[in-house]
Chain A
Amino acid sequence: MHLWETATRPVPSPAEPACNDSTPRYLTARIVAHRQIAAATFRIRLDCPEIATQALPGQFAMLRIPDRLDPLLARPLAVYDSFSAPEGDAVQGPPSQRRYVDFVYVVHGKFTTALKEIPAGENLIVWGPLGNGFVAIPAVEHLVLVAGGIGQTALLALGKEQCGRASYGLPPRSRPTSRVTLCWGARTAAAFGDVADFSQAGIDVHLATLDGSAGQQGTVIDLLNTLEPDWNSPESRHVACCGPEGMMEAVAAWTAGRRIGCHVSLEAPMACGIGICFTCVARVREAASGASPDEPPAWDYRRTCVEGPIFSAASIEW
């Protein structure tokens, strides 16, 4: 097997002004930190000002290991958070000063198995920020984040922004400060990593595990049912959800039954992340259709990498 050439674009020095548009970029980024945070779960920090300054909550990037034909393609990972220092989580600073971007991933297949062996100091190929991000979340009194498995990665930045703890984007978006709750479900206690990122941001964290080893025993739906009686009226709430498809479908049904607004972050398999391959499609209902109850709403396949990954749960034909 021969190695393929990788085009290397030098990572700009901090003196270089960050570009002020949101054009996705193809970059070589150095790993500055890489550590395990839970069972088969790793957190990696890249020196990547282009993404760190611009990424909005809910956006993602494509990552690839240079000089390898196997895995051949890049993989999408949600932008977990961005920082202005190569170490620690305390120093975040305004978006314009951020230079480092964190991803959290669970070891799953070819790419993640290979990635976990790559130490700090090595380079990755990365392009982003990609996707729409959480742009359409209404200003509500109470934002409920619902995560399943590794789905918390798409939700941290949104929660911090909504709590008024951090801002994202250029120019920084402002968000009304509101109450934020995280309901996070996993198989077992060992799967939860860096839960403190949420609690320290002022997010009220509730866990559920299928085996009862942490938090409430059961699913996130069981957890939502337990917590709901203490919450204000459904109209004052909005749900943002990310996790396995079956779990998101269940949460979508739970919110629809209560007339609670809900956005989901879909995790369709992707080959390019930029809209050129038509791999990542989801069935999305046409806005104009389905006006009459007798007529089932028409749907079309939409590319989740460019039109998503965030969709209103009500628009998805599961």
Chain B
Amino acid sequence: MPPADRFAAARPASEGSPVEPPPVDLAVMIGSLRLPNPILVASGTFGYAREMAGYVDLARLGGIVPKTITPLPRKGNVPWRTVETSAGLLNSIGLDNDGIDAFLQAQLPFLLGCGAPVIVSIAGANQREFVQLADRLEGVPGIAGLELNISCPNVSHGVDLGTDPELCRSVVAGVRGVTRLPVIAKLTPNVTDIASIARGARDGGADALTLINTCQGMAVDWRRRRPMLGNGIGGLSGPAIKPIALRCVYQVRKAVDLPIIGVGGIMTIDDCMEFFVTGATAVQIGTANFAEPIASMRLLEALPKALAEIGATCMADLIGTLRPPAGAAVPAPPPPPGSPPHAA
């Protein structure tokens, strides 16, 4: 046996089984938006897609979320803007972008020609700016949806729209009022109770939720006695945050009945499957694009086999099929009204 096949028997079928899998339907619905497959690329980790044309067959992606745009150009934060940490990446890019006008003129035409659904990510400093951005994009043909980045940890000025359920609701409701596009709220994990923020987004009229943005973090150079990032603190991404992202999907899935797009630390097909089973309808690939520009294609290719491994023929056979923890007590039926309180 050639050395490359040494581990074939030990590998799960999802990774390199020679058996041709049966045809599976990878399409998913995010509210009214149909995506050809559930592998999307995350905002801020795929540029404006044109940079990736030499690595990725853009038309095959389930969706592209380009880098977040703001009403006016932003220079972004002072370098250093990223620092690698253990199995993770800290960033404080600071929404460096050329503003919506430049986006519409210079980036959107290419994006819309890629052949994949384009979900435009927008961020404003307040509700008014979000509404203004959504209003500008409403008339533009070809856009598949809006992702509201109410969760960027690198630009807050004291008020964090994504950390208060009522502020979150009002931003989503404002955008909902001016657009017919599917509205997807992207939430931050940097809150005590993410389910309450998710309810705020639902009450504001969100069609779906993207979970999660980066987790606040910091790296320090003790010899120079300085933070490593130019901005002091930043957002952690990559494999280090996958457990946090899964936990958020799990909690939000139980709290609201909206489709969830899972994101955070996805590198392998097993990671994708964990998100689907936990309740994500689709996933976004973020930091993995940096470490391996072809990551999204590799995962897309591995997906049918992984579905076949558990006998699934479509995504619905998989999404949100998580069982209770092994050994968990089956919850007792609620006591009939009027019965005495249970003695603990």
Contacts and interface: CB of A to CB of B under 8 A. Distances in A.
Interface string B295-323: 00110001000000000000000000000
Interface in A41-79: 64, 69-74
A2 interface: yes
A249 to B, nearest CB: 15
A70 B81 contact: no
Given A72-B291, A301-B76, 14 more contacts: A5-B15, A5-B268, A5-B298, A5-B302, A26-B292, A69-B267, A72-B84, A274-B51, A274-B52, A276-B51, A276-B293, A277-B45, A277-B91, A301-B75
Interface string A230-263: 0000000000000000000000000000000000
- Most A CB contacts (10 A, CB to CB) among B51, B88, B96 go to B51
Contacts of B84: 71-73, 110, 271
B164 interface: no
Interface string B19-62: 00000000000000000000000001111000110110000000
B76 A276 contact: no
A26 B55 contact: yes
Given A281-B79, A301-B76, A306-B51, A272 B267 contact: no
B269 interface: yes
A80 interface: no
A275 B89 contact: no
B330 interface: no
B268 A2 contact: yes
B87 interface: yes
A281 B76 contact: yes
Contacts of B292: 6-7, 26, 64, 125
B269 A268 contact: no
Interface string A15-42: 0000000011110000000000000000
A138 interface: no
B302 A23 contact: no
Given A74-B291, A276-B290, A277-B93, A4 B51 contact: no
B91 A279 contact: yes
Contacts of A282: 79
8 contacts: A5-B269, A5-B298, A69-B239, A72-B87, A72-B88, A127-B55, A272-B293, A276-B51
Interface of B: 15-16, 44-47, 51-52, 54-55, 67, 75-76, 79-84, 86-89, 91, 93, 96, 238-239, 267-270, 287, 289-294, 297-298, 302
A306 B54 CA distance: 13
B214 to A, nearest CB: 13
B75 to A, nearest CB: 6
Interface of A: 1-2, 4-7, 23-26, 64, 69-74, 110, 125, 127, 268-269, 271-272, 274-279, 281-282, 300-301, 306
B290 A278 contact: no
B289 A24 contact: no
- Most A CB contacts (10 A, CB to CB) among B87, B88, B290 go to B290
Contacts of A279: 79-82, 91, 93
Given A5-B302, A26-B55, A272 B290 contact: yes
Contacts of B291: 64, 72-74
B82 A2 contact: no
Contacts of B87: 1, 69-70, 72
B96 A281 contact: yes
A309 to B, nearest CB: 14
A4 B82 contact: no
A5 B54 CA distance: 21
Contacts of B91: 271, 277, 279
